A = this chain, B = another copy of it.
Amino acid sequence: MRKVAIAGIGFTKVGEPWERNIKDLFAEAALAAMKDAAHTEVDQLYVANMMGAHLQGQLGMGAIMAEAIGKPGISAARIEAGQASGGVAFNEGVKAVASGLNDWVLVGGVEKMSDLLPEAVTTALVGTEEQEYTSYTGVTKTGLSAILHRLYSREYGATPEEIGWFAVRSHDNAVGVAHAQYSFKLSIERVMTSPMEADPIRMMECAAVADGAAAVLLGPAEKIATGIEVAASTVATDYTSLASRRHPLTLEAVKKAANGAYEAAKVKPKDVDVLEVTDDTTIDGVLSLEDLGFVEKGKGAKFVAQGHTARTGEIPTNNFGGLKARGNPVGATGLYQIVETVIQLRGKAGANQITGAEVGMAQSMASVGSTCSIAILRRV
């Protein structure tokens, strides 16, 4: 099996550009990744996208994006694993290069959620839950997270404020980040007085509707002089329904994907210098931190509130704002996380740089954890 490296990265600013379509966004990110790599050859394209069928009526994005980036004819496919589509597509890219069947693989993610009816977006966001058993009840993705939030508070005695701190930390890191959707600071008071989204989760604890695209160009490590190595890339799944899980507060997909990745990369949580986790809502971020092994189960909220995930803390997390502040264009989010990890490992994060970052980890999750992808990257 060949070693795989990241030759180039590209991304758009996350926002609500009503005047741009999915091709336009995707091409900006993909062409930027090729330019960054100073390499224009692409053997295989993976397009990560979650909600194109729901929101744009668009299927077949593999072929469409191949054409959009000026590469009509190349092998291409769309990868969909809900909100984890970007991370899972990255995993496909790694396999394609590792197999030796492809040398240069472009993995890009795109989502366009603005300029549509909010109801349509809400419906699409709960699309990874089983339509016949869960979604038909009318529950939303945030509603499912709210169940976990309540259970977490009851089981571990965490206060709403402690959980709410996850959003504050994310916003702290987005200040000055040019590609972030919301690059402003957010106080815990502002979080805790924002309207209820799905009781007890408040609006300012939730990632917003966002458009964006991010991409990486992968290649064989031996052909890339200054790349960042893929030390591990894993994917795991779990029972979709919370009611089917042994303990809803343990995200088994996260644990399984993380353990596989630690083993493959031969690292432990303490070796990870920079981390990107899924904070679609605050509680998602807290549970992720725990099941990735950075803090004991039940102690994640306090851990965040006390500052251990801040830039100066023991595990700098969501270093450009995470889903909450950088933004969450869902199908692209897993690739934003990977791109941002690369920026850190390259030492190019400016004011956001974590000094001496050598090992980075990105965790992407569909809904409340039905699929989880993990990438561990290493500066070599």
Contacts and interface: CB of A to CB of B under 8 A. Distances in A.
Interface in A74-128: 74-82, 88, 91-92, 94-96, 98-102, 123-124, 127-128
A62 interface: yes
A86 B378 CA distance: 35
Contacts of A54: 53, 57, 59
B1 A75 contact: no
Given A63-B238, A67-B240, A131 B58 contact: yes
A124 B127 CA distance: 17
A76 B132 contact: no
A130 interface: yes
A236 interface: yes
Residue among A59, A67, A237 with most chain B CB within 10 A = A59
Nearest to A260: B75
Contact of A81 (B77, B235, B252): B77
B62 A371 contact: yes
B63 A128 contact: yes
A335 interface: no
A171 interface: no
Contacts of A102: 95
A144 interface: no
A76 B21 contact: no
B253 A73 contact: yes
A3 to B, nearest CB: 12
Given A73-B236, A80-B77, A98-B101, A128 B366 contact: no
A237 B76 contact: yes
Contact of A77 (B1, B100, B132, B235): B235
23 contacts: A50-B59, A53-B53, A53-B54, A56-B131, A58-B130, A58-B131, A60-B80, A60-B82, A60-B129, A60-B366, A60-B370, A63-B82, A63-B366, A72-B237, A73-B252, A75-B235, A76-B235, A76-B237, A77-B92, A78-B81, A94-B101, A95-B99, A98-B101
Interface of A: 1, 21, 50-51, 53-54, 56-64, 66-67, 72-82, 88, 91-92, 94-96, 98-102, 123-124, 127-132, 135, 234-240, 244, 252-253, 256, 366-367, 370-371
